[in-house]
A and B are shown apart, each in its own frame.
Chain A
Amino acid sequence: MFDTCADPKTLEGLSWLLCYLTTGKHMMFYGSFFVVIALMVIVAPVALAFGFGGAIAARSPFAPLRWFGKLYTSMVRGIPDIVFFLFVPVAMDQGLEYLRYLYKCPHDGTPVWANNEFSVCAAAKLPLSSTPQIWHEVYGFSLAVIAFAVVFGAFAANVLYGAMNAVPRAQLETAEAYGMSPAQVRRRVLIPQMWTYALPGLSNLWLILVKATPLLFLLGVEDVVYWARELGATKSQLYDYPHPDWRFWYVLVLLVFYLSMTKVSEIVLGRISTRLSRGQATMAGEALRKAAA
C-alpha cells in the first residue's frame, strides 16, 4: 500500500506494523467485517418476512395453510441449527443445478448422482465454471442468507404468533364492532399493536443472529473467523511478514467486534422498545405516561 513497504524484511517496529496491517490480506480481513454486517442486515428483514408469513399462516382459518405454518415452525425449531446450515445450502445448490440440468443438458443417460458424485454438464453448473470467482462467492453468500433466513424465520414466526395472540381480545372486538372486516382488523389493529409484545422475543433473536454469524465460516464463506485464523497462524520466512502464532490477538479483535455489535444493538433496541410502548396499555406504556405527566 505504501512505497516504504516494498521490502518488508528490512522494516522494524512501528513501520513494520503499519505495513503489516495494510497488506492485501489484511484488507480482505477488514472487508470481511462488512460481509458479516451485510449478512445481519440482509437476513434480519428476510427472516422477519419469513416469520410474518409463518405466523399469518399458522393463524389462518384455512386448515392446510395452518398446518403448513405449524409444520414449518416446529420442524425448523426442532432440528439443530447446524444440521440446517449444512443441509439447506447443499440441497438448494444441487436442487437448482438439477433443475437447470433438466433443460440445459443433453440427456445421454449419464446419471446425475452416481458414485458419490453429483455431476451435471458444464452448462448447468451454477454459477458457471467460467464466471469470475467473485460471483461464486456471492452465490455462496446468498445460499447462506437463505439458510439463515429459514432458520431465524421459524423462530420469528413463533415470536410473532405469540405476539399476535397477546393483543387483548377487547381491542379486536372493538374494531369488529365498528364494522371492520377481518382483514381490516388485522391490518389496522392487530399488526400495529403486536410489535410491542413481539419486540423482546425479536431482540433476543437479533442478538442470537449476531452471535451466529461465525457459522458463515462453516458454509465456506470467507468471513471474519476464516481470516482471523488464517492471518493469526504462524508465518514462516516464506511469507513477507513472518510472525509466530498470533491467533490470540486476532480472536481478541473478533471478541471486541462482537461485543460492540451487541452494545450497539442493545442501545438501538432500547430506543425502539420505548417508541413502541408509547400509548400502549402495558406496564412499560403506563410508566411512560406517568413519566410524561
Chain B
Amino acid sequence: MKKLILTAAVLALSAGTAFAADVVRMGTEGAYPPYNFINDKGEVDGFERELGDTLCTKAGLTCEWVTNDWDSIIPNLLSGNYDTIIAGMSITPEREETIMFTQNYYPPAASAYAAKTADADVMGVVAAQVGTIQADYVAKSGATLLEFSTLDDTVAAVKNGEADAVFADKDALAPFVTEGGELVWDGEDVPLGGGIGIGMRKSDTELKAKFDAVITEMKADGSLNTMIKKWFGDDAALF
C-alpha cells in the first residue's frame, strides 16, 4: 500500500513538472463583453474565455488567464508577462509589425457609430477606445477623435454630451444601444480589420503553429461557428 502511494506521488510529481513547462498565460482585457469580461464571480468569462479554454484543451496545453489594461496589452506581451493576447484584437498590418497573429478565429467584424440621435454628425467629435482600429479609422475619416482608455468611457462621453457619437466594434457596442435606451445606431456599419486573431510574440512560432492547427480544426468541424452563434446571436458573421 505504501509503495502504491509512493508511486502515485512520484507519478503525480513528474506529471506536474511535465505539465509545468506547458503553461500558457492568456492575456485579455476583461472589459469588452461579449468577447471577454469579468463575470460576477470575478472570473474571466465570454466568447474568448470559452474559445481559449477549448483551444488549450485540444492543443494539450494548460492555460492560465491574466487580465491587463488594453493600453499596455502589447508592451506587456513583449516583456513576457503573458504569452498570448486574446482580447478581441483585430489583425492589422500596423500591429503585425510588432507582434504576430494566428489565423483569425472571428471573421472581419462590422464597426458602427452610436449616438443619441440617428442623425448625429459622425464627422463631428467622435469617441473611440485608444489604440483600436476604430480610433485609427476615426482619425483618418476627418472627424475629431476623442480617445478613452475603456469602451465604457467612450459611451459615457456620448451620454454626457462630450462627444457627438461613439465608434466601436458593433458587437461590443450593441448592449448599450439595445438595453440602454439612450443610444441609437447612427449611419451605416463599417467593415474594418482582417478579423480577430490571437496575438503572440514573433519568436513563439511553435505556439502559433499549435493554435493555428486547432483553429483550422474548429473551423472545419463547425464548432467555432456554434460558439460564435452562442455568444453573438444568430445574425453574427460566420466562417
B152 touches A234 (CB 8 A): yes
A129 touches B83 (CB 8 A): yes
A234 touches B78 (CB 8 A): no
Chain A min CB distance to B223 (Å): 21
Interface residues of A in 94-125 (CB under 8 A from B): 94, 97, 110, 114-120, 122, 125
Chain A min CB distance to B202 (Å): 6
Residues of A near B68 (CB, < 8 A) are 220
B23 touches A129 (CB 8 A): yes
Stretch of A19-27, A40-48, A191-199, A249-257 at the chain-chain interface? A19-27
Chain A min CB distance to B7 (Å): 23
B179 touches A242 (CB 8 A): yes
Answer whether A119 and B39 are a contact pair too, CB < 8 Å, given A236-B175, A244-B180.
Answer: no
B179 touches A245 (CB 8 A): no
Residues of B near A229 (CB, < 8 A) are 150
A84 interface contact, C-beta 8 A: no
Residues of A near B19 (CB, < 8 A) are 130
Chain B min CB distance to A10 (Å): 15
Tell me the bound Cα distance from A245 to B25 in angstroms: 31
B234 interface contact, C-beta 8 A: no
Interface residues of A in 237-293 (CB under 8 A from B): 237-242, 244-245, 247
B199 interface contact, C-beta 8 A: no
A27 touches B176 (CB 8 A): no
How does the 8 Å CB contact mask read for A129-147 relative to B, with 1 for contact and 0 for none?
1101100100000000000
CB-nearest residue of chain A to B19: A130
CB-nearest residue of chain B to A116: B78
Chain A min CB distance to B219 (Å): 25
B33 interface contact, C-beta 8 A: yes
Tell me the bound Cα distance from A275 to B33 in angstroms: 55
Partner of B150, one of A115, A117, A233, A240: A233
B40 touches A23 (CB 8 A): yes
Tell me the bound Cα distance from A233 to B175 in angstroms: 13
A238 touches B78 (CB 8 A): no
Residues of B near A233 (CB, < 8 A) are 31, 150, 152
A117 touches B42 (CB 8 A): no
CB-nearest residue of chain A to B34: A238
B1 interface contact, C-beta 8 A: no
Most buried by A among B24, B34, B43, B152: B152
B21 interface contact, C-beta 8 A: yes
Partner of A238, one of B37, B65, B156: B37
A81 interface contact, C-beta 8 A: no
Tell me the bound Cα distance from A230 to B66 in angstroms: 15
B69 touches A220 (CB 8 A): yes
Residues of B near A125 (CB, < 8 A) are 80
Chain B min CB distance to A254 (Å): 17
B98 interface contact, C-beta 8 A: yes
B41 interface contact, C-beta 8 A: yes
A241 touches B40 (CB 8 A): yes
B38 touches A25 (CB 8 A): yes
B80 touches A118 (CB 8 A): yes
A237 touches B21 (CB 8 A): no
Interface residues of B in 72-93 (CB under 8 A from A): 72, 76, 78-80, 83
How does the 8 Å CB contact mask read for B170-195 relative to A, with 1 for contact and 0 for none?
00000110011000000000000000
B33 touches A238 (CB 8 A): yes
B155 interface contact, C-beta 8 A: yes
CB-nearest residue of chain A to B64: A133
Interface residues of A in 136-169 (CB under 8 A from B): 136
Most buried by A among B40, B179, B203: B40
B20 interface contact, C-beta 8 A: yes
B197 interface contact, C-beta 8 A: no
B40 touches A117 (CB 8 A): no
Residues of A near B208 (CB, < 8 A) are none
What are 23 sample pairs from A and B whose C-beta atoms fall under 8 A apart?
A25-B38, A25-B40, A25-B42, A94-B79, A97-B80, A117-B79, A117-B201, A117-B203, A118-B78, A119-B80, A120-B80, A128-B20, A129-B23, A129-B83, A130-B20, A130-B62, A220-B69, A220-B76, A222-B67, A238-B34, A239-B37, A239-B40, A241-B40
Q: When A and B form their complex, which 4 residue pairs have the shortest distance between CB atoms, in order from nearest? A: A236-B175, A130-B20, A24-B41, A25-B42
Given contacts A117-B202, A234-B152, A238-B34, 10 further A-B contacts (CB under 8 A): A27-B42, A115-B202, A117-B201, A118-B78, A129-B23, A129-B25, A133-B66, A236-B179, A242-B179, A245-B156
